Chains A and B, each alone.
Chain A
Amino acid sequence: MSVHSASAVSVLVYVDHVQGAARPVSWELMGKARQFGDSLALPVVALVVGHQVSDLASEAIAYGADRVLIADDAAFAQFRAGAYAATLRAAIGSAGPRVILVPATSGARDAAALAACALGVGLASDCHGVALDEDGNLLADRPVFGGNIITTIVFRGHSQMATVRPRTFPLPSPDNSRSGEIVPLAVELGELEEREEVLAVRAPEVGELSVDAANIIVAGGRGVKGPEGFAPIRELAQVLGAAVGASRAVVDAGWIPYAHQVGQTGKTVRPDLYIACGISGAIQHLAGMTNTKVVVAINKDEEAPIFSVATYGIVGDLFEIVPALTETLRARLGR
Chain B
Amino acid sequence: MKYVVCVKLTPDTEELAEVQPEDVGSGHLDATMVLNPWDEFAVEEALQLQERFEGETVAITVGSEGSLEALKRSVAMGIEQAVLLSDEAFDGSDAWGTAHVLAEAIKQIEDSALIITGRQSVDGSSGLVPAGLAVNLGWPFVSQVAKVLDLTEEHITVLRALDGVGMQTVRVELPAVISVSKEINEPRLASFMGIRKASRLQYPTLTSADLPGLKPSQFGMAGALTTWTNLRKPPARARKCRFIEGPSAADRASALVDRLIADKVI
Chain A hits for B99, CB < 8 A: 117
In the complex, the answer to whether A200 meets B169 with C-beta atoms within 8 Å is: yes
Among residues of A, the one whose C-beta sits closest to the C-beta of B126 is A125
Chain A hits for B143, CB < 8 A: 81, 106, 110
Complex Cα distance A92/B224, Å? 20
Confirm or deny: A118 has a beta carbon within 8 angstroms of a beta carbon on chain B: yes
| Option from A201, A302, A329 in Cβ contact (under 8 Å) with B165 | A201
**Closest chain B CB from A161 CB (angstroms):** 9
Q: Given A146-B16, A200-B168, A283-B17, A313 and B265 touching (CB < 8 A)?
A: no
Chain A hits for B128, CB < 8 A: 113, 117, 123, 125
In the complex, the answer to whether A149 meets B19 with C-beta atoms within 8 Å is: yes
Interface residues of B in 161-211 (CB under 8 A from A): 161-173, 176, 181-183
In the complex, the answer to whether B13 meets A147 with C-beta atoms within 8 Å is: no
A23, A81, A315: residue with the most chain B Cβ atoms closer than 10 Å: A81
In the complex, the answer to whether A150 meets B232 with C-beta atoms within 8 Å is: yes
Complex Cα distance A210/B263, Å? 24
Please encode chain A, from 186 to 211, with 1 for each CB lying within 8 Å of some chain B CB and 0 for all others: 00000010011111111110000010
Complex Cα distance A295/B259, Å? 12
Confirm or deny: B89 has a beta carbon within 8 angstroms of a beta carbon on chain A: no
Please encode chain A, from 296 to 335, with 1 for each CB lying within 8 Å of some chain B CB and 0 for all others: 1100001000011111111110001101110111001100
Confirm or deny: B234 has a beta carbon within 8 angstroms of a beta carbon on chain A: yes
In the complex, the answer to whether A106 meets B167 with C-beta atoms within 8 Å is: no
Confirm or deny: A176 has a beta carbon within 8 angstroms of a beta carbon on chain B: no
**Closest chain B CB from A112 CB (angstroms):** 8
Please encode chain A, from 125 to 164, with 1 for each CB lying within 8 Å of some chain B CB and 0 for all others: 1100000000000000011111111111111110000000
In the complex, the answer to whether A321 meets B125 with C-beta atoms within 8 Å is: no
Q: Which interface class (under 10, 10 to 19, 20 to 34, 35 or more) fits B? A: 35 or more
Interface residues of A in 108-123 (CB under 8 A from B): 109-110, 113-114, 116-118, 120-123
In the complex, the answer to whether B164 meets A202 with C-beta atoms within 8 Å is: no
Chain B hits for A329, CB < 8 A: 257, 266
Q: Which stretch (A4-12, A40-48, A257-265) binds chain B?
A: A257-265
In the complex, the answer to whether A144 meets B171 with C-beta atoms within 8 Å is: no
Confirm or deny: B50 has a beta carbon within 8 angstroms of a beta carbon on chain A: no
Complex Cα distance A110/B157, Å? 18
In the complex, the answer to whether B182 meets A314 with C-beta atoms within 8 Å is: no
In the complex, the answer to whether A203 meets B166 with C-beta atoms within 8 Å is: yes
In the complex, the answer to whether A294 meets B19 with C-beta atoms within 8 Å is: no
Interface residues of B in 234-256 (CB under 8 A from A): 234, 237-239, 241-244, 248-250, 252-254, 256
Complex Cα distance A197/B142, Å? 11
**Closest chain B CB from A48 CB (angstroms):** 16
In the complex, the answer to whether A157 meets B225 with C-beta atoms within 8 Å is: yes
Chain A hits for B122, CB < 8 A: 145-146, 264
In the complex, the answer to whether B24 meets A273 with C-beta atoms within 8 Å is: no
In the complex, the answer to whether A117 meets B132 with C-beta atoms within 8 Å is: yes
| Option from A114, A259, A311 in Cβ contact (under 8 Å) with B141 | A114
In the complex, the answer to whether B164 meets A204 with C-beta atoms within 8 Å is: yes
In the complex, the answer to whether B237 meets A79 with C-beta atoms within 8 Å is: no
Complex Cα distance A192/B144, Å? 20
**Closest chain A CB from B201 CB (angstroms):** 29
| Option from A150, A240, A316 in Cβ contact (under 8 Å) with B233 | A150
Among residues of A, the one whose C-beta sits closest to the C-beta of B225 is A122
In the complex, the answer to whether A117 meets B162 with C-beta atoms within 8 Å is: no
Confirm or deny: A293 has a beta carbon within 8 angstroms of a beta carbon on chain B: yes
Please encode chain B, from 210 to 229, with 1 for each CB lying within 8 Å of some chain A CB and 0 for all others: 00000000000000111111
Q: Given A144-B124, A321-B253, A286 and B170 touching (CB < 8 A)?
A: no
Q: Given A114-B141, A312-B244, A324 and B239 touching (CB < 8 A)?
A: no
Confirm or deny: B92 has a beta carbon within 8 angstroms of a beta carbon on chain A: no
Confirm or deny: A290 has a beta carbon within 8 angstroms of a beta carbon on chain B: yes
**Closest chain B CB from A73 CB (angstroms):** 18
Among residues of B, the one whose C-beta sits closest to the C-beta of A264 is B13
In the complex, the answer to whether A145 meets B266 with C-beta atoms within 8 Å is: no
Confirm or deny: A74 has a beta carbon within 8 angstroms of a beta carbon on chain B: no
Confirm or deny: A284 has a beta carbon within 8 angstroms of a beta carbon on chain B: yes
Inter-chain pairs besides A18-B164, A290-B234, 6 sampled, C-beta below 8 Å = A81-B131, A106-B163, A125-B125, A192-B138, A198-B168, A264-B16
11 A–B contacts, CB within 8 A, in A order: A106-B163, A122-B96, A124-B226, A148-B19, A148-B233, A149-B24, A195-B176, A312-B244, A312-B256, A327-B253, A333-B266
